[in-house]
Amino acid sequence: MKVGIKSYSYCLNHAPETGSHYGGTPYEAFHSGKEQEFLDALPKHLQSYDSARHYAPNQTYIGGISYEEFEALPSGWVNNPLPDEKANRYGKFGEIMPEDEFLGLISACDEFELVWLEKSFAEAVSAKLAQDPVITEAIVKRVVRPKNMHELAEIDTEVKDRDGLYLYHDGKPVGCVRSGHPTDQCLTAHVLLENLAGKASGVLALLHLLKNSGLDPKDLDFVIECSEEGAGDVGQRAGGNFAKAIAEVAGCVNASGCDVRGFCAGPVNAMINAAAQVASGARKNIAVVAGGSIPKLFMNARDHVKKGLIALEDCVGSFGVLLVPDDGTMPVMRLDVLGKHTVGAGGAPQAVTSALTFEPLQAAGLTFADVDRYAPELQNHEITEPAGAGNVPLANIKMIAALAVMKKAIEKSEMMNFIKKHGTIGYAPTQGHIPAGVPFIGPACELINEGKIKRSMIIGKGSLFLARLTNLADGASFLIEAPEKVEAPATVSKDDIKAMILEVLGEVAGKLA
């Protein structure tokens, strides 16, 4: 069973000031009262929007450069910015949106007067958003709604007296997020900012997905959202529904939706969920969408600042994938080759890798070498290595190669060649669920369409123990393959039917005689 991958989108929202105040690590440092030196130093380690555009991993993510171009670049991307002609705001897959416009988009996604913007800022940013090719007139108008525009003195009062949070641009307050309830911890200004930013970044990804696919928003059938945020109140914490909220802003009036969660394994599970619905005929098309995470901004910034490095975790990532019935013209996702990390598999790296790669491939009669590219986790190692987490994509493909040797699929002498040929270099922002395989869906489909590869495996792995419910981890995987031509059913004319009837009647008459 297969479904078609019609289109995909990948977007980044540059948010260094928002992250330096409300990213998980800086926010924790501020409230601990013990890390003022780190907080004072962090602003000196931020990169500008212009630098973010010239950063090779960011351009790879949005499709500004191809994966093959990225792979050919020398290491040390932060010290080797791309030339201007390769550093555009818009790429083949999506865009890198500046922070002021992102704040405006967050305001546009607010339905409950929770986001207030200073009047002149709102007017300026709405004019900028109007130039974005995917931002609709309806969204632009929502930025300058009278009830959401206020004088700075009113914003100051909301923050100082009613537990609001300032929104910053160019080092000064330009708005705030208000508290949604006086006592409900699920509706604090901080949680609401996280959720609204996740919603807004998801909206941007869905808008680009609709543009890339040529699908009319009214024709979208269903949305599955698979980020790591949880929206709800004290009575139903994380009840959702991000998917339907995102579809509403994007103008998908005939769509419904639901959320799928699973930490970093969530997006792969969401893809399997969506593909199963499309393949069964339950839904004619489904957009799998994920917004990004404010708490993941500057997650590793302590180590970056300590080592005098640029703090690169300044972009909120998002993505979208559109699944439709297989018609033989587009790359396909196979539903008969799915990896799963079972409860009994254990947490040893070898066991996890076997469950997600060897076992599904063996069941389908495939070997490790039959997969041209593995995309297990695509974290940017320029971010993770200084923080002591190593090169995650390289560690994963090394484990796959070692398992291939153990299973006698390749010789030990072939390991390094296998790693180079079948591995992927990480370029995704460290947004938890975002790097877990899904960024490579777009490049894999592009390479398949160009005839350069035939098959890729997308792998997501999740840390369930973070919720303090179980010590288990999780994981899932699936294959993307080149399309196979679908033969049209043979047509039968009226004359053919008449001839067959006459033939049958003749045979019956002969037997009766």
The model's confidence at residue 346, banded by pLDDT at 50, 70 and 90, is: confident
| Confidence (pTM) | 0.94
Which residue reads 């080149």 in tokens?
482
Of 255, 88, 271, 114, the residue nearest 197 (C-alpha)? 114
The answer on pLDDT for 197 being more than 90 is yes
Tell me the percentage of the chain whose pLDDT exceeds 70. 96
Q: Which residues contact 142 (CB under 8 A, 6 or more apart)?
A: 107, 108, 109, 148
The answer on pLDDT for 250 being more than 60 is yes
The rounded distance, in Å, linking the Cα atoms of 382 and 72 is 16
The rounded distance, in Å, linking the Cα atoms of 311 and 215 is 38
The model's confidence at residue 426, banded by pLDDT at 50, 70 and 90, is: very high
Q: What is the pLDDT of residue 499?
A: 72
The answer on pLDDT for 498 being more than 80 is no
Stretch 439-467: mean pLDDT: 97
Q: What 8-state DSSP symbol labels residue 188?
A: S
Tell me the percentage of the chain whose pLDDT exceeds 90. 93
Q: Give the model confidence (pLDDT) of 364-379 as tens digits.
A: 999 999 999 999 999 9
Stretch 186-200: mean pLDDT: 98
**Structural domain containing residue 232:** 1-513
Cis peptide bond N-terminal to 471, omega within 30: no
The answer on pLDDT for 485 being more than 80 is no
The answer on pLDDT for 29 being more than 70 is yes
The answer on pLDDT for 420 being more than 80 is yes
Q: Give the model confidence (pLDDT) of 133-180 as tens digits.
A: 999 999 999 999 999 999 999 999 999 999 999 999 999 999 999 999
What six digits make up the tokens of 372?
């041209």
What six digits make up the tokens of 364?
């389908």
> Is residue 8 within 8 Å of 441, Cβ to Cβ?
yes
Stretch 78-85: mean pLDDT: 98
Stretch 10-16: mean pLDDT: 98
> Is residue 432 within 8 Å of 228, Cβ to Cβ?
yes
Q: Give the model confidence (pLDDT) of 280-337 as tens digits.
A: 999 999 999 999 999 999 999 999 999 999 999 999 999 999 999 999 999 999 999 9
Q: What is the pLDDT of residue 180?
A: 97
CA dihedral 294, 295, 296, 300 (to 10 degrees): 130
Using alpha carbons, list the distances in angstroms from residue 76 to 10, 55, 301, 381. Answer: 23, 10, 18, 10
Computed on alpha carbons and rounded to an integer, the radius of gyration of the chain in Å comes to: 25
Q: Which residues contact 337 (CB under 8 A, 6 or more apart)?
A: 360, 361, 363, 364, 366, 478, 479
The answer on pLDDT for 487 being more than 80 is no
The answer on pLDDT for 509 being more than 90 is no
The model's confidence at residue 486, banded by pLDDT at 50, 70 and 90, is: low
What six digits make up the tokens of 362?
């063996």
Q: Which residues contact 265 (CB under 8 A, 6 or more apart)?
A: 341, 436, 460, 461, 462, 474, 475, 476
Give the containing element (helix H, strand E) for 248.
helix 242-249
Q: What is the pLDDT of residue 303?
A: 97
What are the φ and ψ backbone dihedral angles of 22, each rounded to 5 degrees?
-125, 0
The answer on pLDDT for 511 being more than 60 is no
Q: What 8-state DSSP symbol labels residue 300?
A: T
Q: What is the mean pLDDT of the chain?
A: 95
What six digits make up the tokens of 185?
């911890």
Stretch 17-38: mean pLDDT: 96
Q: What 8-state DSSP symbol labels residue 250?
A: T
The answer on pLDDT for 513 being more than 80 is no
Domain count, the chain: 1
User: What does the angle CA 263 – CA 265 – CA 267 come to, to the nearest 5 degrees?
Assistant: 100
Q: Find the CATH number of the domain harbouring 458.
A: 3.40.47
Q: Mapped to the 3 state alphabet, what secondary structure does 444-465 carry?
A: HHHHHHCCCCCEEEEEEEECHH
